[in-house]
């Protein structure tokens, strides 16, 4: 089984008896009833040594440790933002190997807390335990105005597909790291220190936005989650992607940018119109007015 087949297997029989659960498994965050104006959002994720990062990469180790901490928080912030929400409270669990010195652990924690403070999040607890590898597990709780809640299942035929500039740079940075880069350039920094933009939520008050998801596994792979949940297809405008960035843009990952759909023509700095939602449950790549069916969905998979 791949990652998503395993998730489907493990969760297909789950039933919720609590009426306060509005959305459970299957979106960027769970949605729980809170008060008359807001819902609570819950998300969780982990960064694992030798899976998401490698402490043997040749860049400066102190900087790497700092960025590992930062990224562990940022990847969860992205989930909350993709639901239309604001991150509020965090629980941090550190699984620490013996090979890390106390001063190195402090550097990781500095990265964690500087990202926490950057988004005005309150650290309310967590756990520390011994481990064979460095593993950072985060639980993040956010709030969303009811009118702003975004789900993967709400895209409509005719919606335009938008994303933020910079998609694909993270993959370029990752390839440089695994190929022995010693200096941190802009691409590597993009990979190591994602900074999800809380400003994008201002669009919710300006335009009609129907659905959204963050990009962790790659543009096509994550867009496909919206398409599957919404039971729709898409046309992707290849001509809107810089030619030298196309592969990384479509199939890279860990950008922590937002894909969203809207019936409105949106012209905003940093936002790219990249396609359109269609009724036909297929993905078409359109280049110079030629339409090609995308037969295989590629992107990051854990299995």
Q: How far is CA 246 from CA 91, 96, 160, in A?
A: 37, 38, 19
Token pair of 219, please? 């543009």
158 and 285 in one domain? Answer: yes
Give the CATH number, domain containing residue 115: 3.30.1330.10
Domain end marker among 79, 113, 147: 147
Q: In the predicted model, is pLDDT for residue 274 greater than 50?
A: yes
Among residues 279, 172, 260, which one has the least CA distance to residue 222?
260
* Residues 145-179: tens digit of each pLDDT: 999 999 999 999 999 999 999 999 999 999 999 99
Judge if 177 and 119 occupy the same domain. no
So what's the pLDDT on residue 173?
Answer: 96
Position 3 in a domain: no
Return the structure tokens found at 299: 């992107």
Report the pLDDT averaged over residues 135-153.
Answer: 98
Q: Which domain holds residue 192?
A: 151-293
pTM for the predicted model, two decimal places: 0.94
Confidence grade of residue 45 (pLDDT, cut at 50, 70, 90)? very high
Residues 6 or more apart from 67 whose CB is under 8 A from it?
A: 111, 192, 193
The reply to whether 177 and 143 lie within a common domain is no
Q: For residue 4, tell me if it sits in a domain.
A: no
**What is residue 152's three-state secondary structure?**
helix
Do 135 and 215 belong to one domain? no
User: For residue 62, what pLDDT is reported?
Assistant: 98
| Confidence (pLDDT) at 299 | 56
Region 55-59: mean pLDDT is 97
The pLDDT tens digits for 61-71 are 999 999 999 99
Task: State the pLDDT at residue 302.
Answer: 44
Evaluate whether residue 302 is within a structural domain: no
Give mean pLDDT, residues 118-132.
97
Residues 91-107: pLDDT tens digits?
999 999 999 999 999 99
- The mean pLDDT value of the chain amounts to 94
Report the percent of the chain where pLDDT is more than 90. 86
Mean pLDDT of 52-73: 98
Structure tokens at 71: 């990224």
Under DSSP, is residue 238 helix (H, G, I), strand (E, B) or coil?
helix
Q: Which residue, 121, 147, 173, sits at the end of a domain?
A: 147
Q: pLDDT class for 303, splitting at 50, 70, 90?
A: very low
Residues 224, 139: one domain? no
Same domain (yes/no): 184, 114: no
| Contact call for residues 254 and 170 (beta carbons, < 8 A) | yes
> Is there a domain that residue 6 lies in?
no
Q: Are 46 and 136 in contact (CB under 8 A)?
A: yes
User: Looking at residue 15, what is its pLDDT?
Assistant: 87
The pLDDT, as a whole number, for residue 288 is 87
Can you say how many angstroms the Cα of residue 104 is from the centroid of all Cα atoms in its chain? 27
Please give the pLDDT value at position 301.
Answer: 53
CA atoms of 164 and 26, how far apart (whole Å): 23
Cα 71 to chain center, whole Å?
A: 11
Residue 31: helix, strand or coil by DSSP? strand
Domains of the chain: total: 2
CA distance 102 to 109: 11
Q: Outline where the chain has alpha helix (H).
A: 3-11, 61-82, 102-118, 169-178, 186-192, 219-230, 246-251
Residue 86, exposed/middle/buried by CB under 10 A (0-12, 13-18, 19+)? buried
| 298 has a pLDDT exceeding 70 | no
**pLDDT on residue 7:** 77
């Amino acid at each position: 089984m791949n990652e998503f087949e395993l998730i489907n297997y493990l969760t297909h029989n789950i039933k919720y008896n609590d009426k306060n659960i509005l959305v459970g498994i299957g979106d960027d965050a769970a949605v729980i009833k809170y008060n008359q104006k807001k819902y609570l959002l819950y998300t969780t994720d982990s960064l694992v040594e030798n899976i998401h990062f490698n402490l043997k990469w040749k860049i400066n180790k102190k900087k790497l440790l700092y960025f590992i901490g930062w990224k562990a928080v940022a990847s969860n912030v992205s989930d909350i933002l993709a639901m239309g929400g604001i991150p509020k409270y965090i629980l941090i669990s550190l699984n620490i190997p013996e090979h890390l010195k106390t001063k190195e652990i402090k550097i990781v924690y500095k990265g964690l807390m500087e990202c926490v403070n950057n988004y005005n999040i309150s650290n309310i607890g967590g756990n520390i335990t011994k481990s064979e590898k460095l593993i950072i597990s985060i639980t993040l709780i956010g709030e969303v105005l009811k009118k702003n809640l975004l789900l993967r299942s709400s895209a409509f035929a005719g919606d335009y597909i938008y994303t933020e500039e910079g998609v694909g740079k993270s993959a370029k940075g990752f390839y440089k790291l695994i190929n022995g880069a010693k200096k941190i350039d802009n691409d590597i920094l993009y990979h190591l220190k994602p900074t999800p933009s809380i400003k994008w939520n201002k669009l919710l008050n300006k335009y009609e936005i129907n659905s959204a998801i963050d990009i962790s596994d790659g543009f096509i792979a994550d867009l496909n989650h919206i398409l599957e949940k919404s039971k729709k297809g898409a046309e992707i405008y290849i001509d809107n992607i810089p030619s030298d960035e196309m592969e990384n843009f479509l199939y890279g990952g860990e950008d922590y940018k937002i894909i969203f759909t809207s019936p409105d023509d949106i012209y905003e700095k940093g936002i790219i119109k990249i396609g359109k939602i269609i009724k036909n449950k297929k993905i078409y790549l359109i280049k110079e007015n030629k339409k090609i069916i995308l037969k295989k969905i590629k992107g990051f998979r854990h299995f």
